[in-house]
Amino acid sequence: MHIRRRDFLTLAGAATLSGSLPRLARGADNAGVYDLERFGNARILHITDTHAQLRPVFFREPSVNLGVGPMRGNPPHLVGRAFLDRFGIRPDSADAYAFTCIEFEKAAGRFGKLGGFAHLKTLVDRMRSEAGSGRAMLLDGGDLWQGTGLSNTLQGADMVDAANLLGIEAMTGHWEFTYGEKALRANLERFKGEFLAQNVYLTEEAAFNDAKAFDPASGRVFKPSVIKEIGGYRVAIIGQAFPYVPIAHPKRFTPDWKFGIRDEELQKLVDVNRNNDKVDAVILLSHNGMDVDLKLASRVTGIDVILGGHTHDAVPQPIAVTNPAGVTLVTNAGSNGKFLAVLDLEIGKGKVANVRYRLLPVFSELLKPDPAMQSLIDKAREPHAANLNEKIGVADRLLYRRGNFSGSMDQLICDALLGELNAEIALSPGFRWGTTALAGQPLTMEDVMAQTAVTYPETYVQTMTGGQIKDVLEDICDNLFNTDPYYQQGGDMVRVGGLAYTCSPNETAGKRISELKLDNGHALQAGKSYKVAGWASVNEQTGAPVWDVVAKHLRSGKPPNRAAPGVTLKGVEDNPGIAGQG
Amino acid sequence: MTDVGFSATRRLILQGAGAVALLGLGNLPFGLTPALAAANDKYPEEAFKAKSEADAIKALYGKTAEPSDKVKMDAPEIAENGAVVPISVTTTLADVTSISFLVSENPVALVASYKIPAGTLPNVANRIKMARTSNVIVVVEAGGKLYSANKEVKVTVGGCGG
């Protein structure tokens, strides 16, 4: 992809003119994109869900991100045009490319890749130095150590080095836990920042057996919070890990730990920070997901800002939530290294007087890579480069994953499962990480790993009845569309191959999925058994790793399946979380 | 084993649960306190057969419960394992004589009923089995009246993280 600086010149300028919302206004030249008006006395920089993407990526934002119940039509459940309108972003602009799926391929050619830790480092350093010494800090919301072949092989060790060089001062976790306690603790030994999690506790058995804990009295496994001095003020940072690690992933990785949202414990912690520690501001560094954070903000009082992640929602403005004691701002900072959030605070004694927030896209073409970080990345990759760079196929079309029900990349994975494992039906998890490949682009092992790099990649083939298959779809659908966010887990709908179905997201659990049909047009029968292939099961499996299955399929050069994914949606025709095109 | 023998065994187990609570206080004599005598001291066979929580509460207490914010239930939103769901309850109500746990969607709604002797802190933590996603109801008997709290606990096959 070629850099076209001229596009940036005109379009960034246009964005300024259209700027009914000043926070999105950008300067008129390249460097100006990152010129921020000075504000406040403390700057908090936030990245989240980078999924170990050390190098710049293409990542297409979703065209389907439905909100149901009270979440319908509200951020983050807006896509395409509705998203641009809500946030005052000019169509055809660099921001429109970064934040939405509109004309993705065309815009990708003009504006290039986003992210990359060497580029991010340059931007972080600039934001820090502009804030002034002792006035800035960098936080990471988790999902830092997982998502690439390299991080999978090194169990996240590469990302600890990158985090230290980037200067991450505190983080929380999600996929970090899937490396298991031993690897997690080994990484944390080397991590120079703090790992914070107020909502991870020892199980009763583990506590009884004196398992390691930060606070044996309460059973808290990790330090819950830290108080940092910035700009002469005391700011409490509380960590909130992903609440459903042992449910969304195999329990065997975290046998001694229990999770949960635990907003009562959180409230106590905030109260102690406010009343005893006399902090001036409280920040929650959260991996709850945006809908959960919005609900939490309405219940827990005393938090100034929730810096959120997990659901990979790139939301340009904070959402203000009223609760019995005031207002809490809720943000979500996107994924895959595409964005750097800049939260400028004007802190006074015991309170935050004013706030300015910007979610800056990390346009790799506009940022000079930091040489030290670039060399760190190159050195970490070098021993594995031959394997990662191996070309195994070509993208026959735009391949992307993100979307509530399907993505062309997952269709490819389902085709591989069906073909290589000789099954009637394929199931593939609805992860929200996984980069985008442009049509015609060579596909390497690194590209395949970017879709599949988990610690439980084993494939399976099993017999399931039609009834069981429907139950699984219903169950996962409720994780996505329960109208109470506390009963959601984040992630998207399981992807299916060889199967078509109708989904009514507004229905209740057990009533959303209907009209299940096999590829041959026959209705799925509740009592009949079918051969189902899949991967990333929470139960232990023994099949070949899915990346080998996908690679074998690509190498075989079988003609790509171009059939549209067989999901018919009902009752969401006017929902602004679904884009007509793009 | 005869029916009578079975009931006696179950009754012993229930009294044993009361005794666990008593142990915390040290030296109250087992099985002889007025509170235990005052509560149903017969094994509540009918209550443990009832399919619905309303029938179970009626069989157990002969009256209905009213929701109260003085009954504090701690239960997960989503169970990490449906076979062992940790549920605990505390209450600031006075004169608590029993605490019962019910799961609407279980084949038999009543899961456990604890007798709370006088002088015991009304604080019970247990792990229950749940067949599937369901409301969990806690009933506290205090001063001869029934108070309740309920919460939906989701039992899931597991999903995929973001």
CA closest to A258 among chain B residues: B80
Q: Please tell me whether residues B114 and B150 are part of one structural domain.
A: yes
State the complex-level ipTM.
Answer: 0.73
In the predicted structure, residue A582 carries a pLDDT above the cut 50: no
How far apart CA B28 and CA A180 sit, in angstroms, is 46
pLDDT-derived band at B25, boundaries 50, 70, 90: very low
Q: From chain B, pick out residues whose CB is under 8 angstroms from the CB of A260.
A: 76-77
Q: Which DSSP category does A545 fall into?
A: B
Q: Tell the burial category of B162 from Cβ atoms under 10 Å away from its Cβ (0-12, 13-18, 19+).
A: buried
Residue B136 belongs to a domain: yes
A182 contacts: CB under 8 Å, gap ≥ 6: none
Residue B101 belongs to a domain: yes
Residue B160 belongs to a domain: no
Residue B162 belongs to a domain: no
User: Quick one: pLDDT at residue A488?
Assistant: 87
Q: Does B69 touch chain A (CB under 8 A)?
A: no
Q: From chain B, pick out residues whose CB is under 8 angstroms from the CB of A268.
A: none
Q: Do B162 and A432 touch (CB under 8 A)?
A: yes
CA closest to B160 among chain A residues: A248
pLDDT-derived band at A297, boundaries 50, 70, 90: very high
In sequence order, what DSSP letters do the residues of A387-448 get, joined into one string? Answer: HHH-EEEE-SS-B---SSS--HHHHHHHHHHHHHHT-SEEEEEE-S----B-TT-EEEHHHH
More confident residue, A414 or A558: A414
More confident residue, A528 or A3: A528
Q: Does B32 touch chain A (CB under 8 A)?
A: no
In the predicted structure, residue B51 carries a pLDDT above the cut 80: yes
User: Quick one: pLDDT at residue B43?
Assistant: 87
Q: From chain A, pick out residues whose CB is under 8 angstroms from the CB of B154.
A: 478, 482, 487
User: Quick one: pLDDT at residue A31?
Assistant: 57
Q: Do B78 and A478 touch (CB under 8 A)?
A: no
Which amino acid, one-letter code, is at A245? V
How far apart CA B112 and CA B106 sit, in angstroms, is 12
Q: From chain A, pick out residues whose CB is under 8 angstroms from the CB of B133.
A: 509
Q: Does B121 touch chain A (CB under 8 A)?
A: no
The SS3 assignment for A368 reads coil
What is the pLDDT of chain A when averaged over all its residues? 93
Q: Which residues make beta-bridge pairs with B101?
A: B112, B138
pLDDT in tens, A501-523: 999 999 999 999 999 999 999 99
Q: Which residues make beta-bridge pairs with B98?
A: B115, B141
Lowest average pLDDT, out of A93-97, A268-272, B1-5, goes to B1-5
pLDDT-derived band at A8, boundaries 50, 70, 90: low
Neighbours of B91 (CB within 10 A): 22
Q: Do A479 and B159 touch (CB under 8 A)?
A: yes
Q: Do B157 and A472 touch (CB under 8 A)?
A: yes
Q: Please tell me whether residues B64 and B144 are part of one structural domain.
A: yes
pTM for this predicted structure:
0.88
A208 contacts: CB under 8 Å, gap ≥ 6: none
Q: Please tell me whether residues B139 and B75 are part of one structural domain.
A: yes
pLDDT in tens, A162-221: 999 999 999 999 999 999 999 999 999 999 999 999 999 999 899 999 999 999 999 999
Residue B103 · residue B134 · CB < 8 Å: yes
Neighbours of A391 (CB within 10 A): 12
In the predicted structure, residue A46 carries a pLDDT above the cut 70: yes
- Give the gap in angstroms from C-alpha A133 to the nearest C-alpha of chain B: 35
Residue B8 belongs to a domain: yes
What CATH number is given to the structural domain containing B111? 2.60.40.2470
Q: Residue B56 is encoded by which pair of tokens? A: 């179970």
Q: Do A471 and B76 touch (CB under 8 A)?
A: no
Q: Please tell me whether residues B109 and B59 are part of one structural domain.
A: yes
Q: Does B157 touch chain A (CB under 8 A)?
A: yes
Give me the mean pLDDT over the A471-482 stretch: 93
Query: CA-based Rg of chain B, rounded to a whole angstrom?
Result: 16
pLDDT in tens, B65-112: 999 999 999 999 998 888 889 999 999 999 999 999 999 999 999 999
Neighbours of B4 (CB within 10 A): 8
Residue B44 belongs to a domain: no
Q: Please tell me whether residues B29 and B70 are part of one structural domain.
A: no
Residue B161 belongs to a domain: no
Lowest average pLDDT, out of A115-119, A484-488, A578-582, goes to A578-582
In the predicted structure, residue B127 carries a pLDDT above the cut 60: yes
Q: Please tell me whether residues B118 and B72 are part of one structural domain.
A: yes
Lowest average pLDDT, out of A40-49, A139-148, A444-453, B2-11, goes to B2-11
Q: Please tell me whether residues B74 and B105 are part of one structural domain.
A: yes
CA B158 to centroid of chain Cα atoms: 27
Q: Which DSSP category does A578 fall into?
A: B
Q: Please tell me whether residues B19 and B68 are part of one structural domain.
A: no
Q: Please tell me whether residues B89 and B134 are part of one structural domain.
A: yes
Neighbours of A324 (CB within 10 A): 8
Say how many domains are in chain B: 2
Say what percent of chain A tops pLDDT 90.
90
Q: From chain B, pick out residues whose CB is under 8 angstroms from the CB of A430.
A: 160
The SS3 assignment for A87 reads helix
Q: Please tell me whether residues B11 and B57 are part of one structural domain.
A: no
pLDDT-derived band at A30, boundaries 50, 70, 90: low
Residue B129 belongs to a domain: yes
In the predicted structure, residue A14 carries a pLDDT above the cut 80: no
Give me the mean pLDDT over the A341-350 stretch: 96
Answer positive or negative: Cα dihedral of A439, A444, A445, A446. negative
The domain in which residue B29 lies consists of 4-39
More confident residue, A4 or A87: A87
Q: Does B131 touch chain A (CB under 8 A)?
A: no
Give me the mean pLDDT over the B47-72 stretch: 94
Q: Please tell me whether residues B67 and B134 are part of one structural domain.
A: yes
User: Quick one: pLDDT at residue A418?
Assistant: 96
Residue A444 · residue A388 · CB < 8 Å: yes
Q: Please tell me whether residues B13 and B78 are part of one structural domain.
A: no
Q: Do A429 and B160 touch (CB under 8 A)?
A: yes
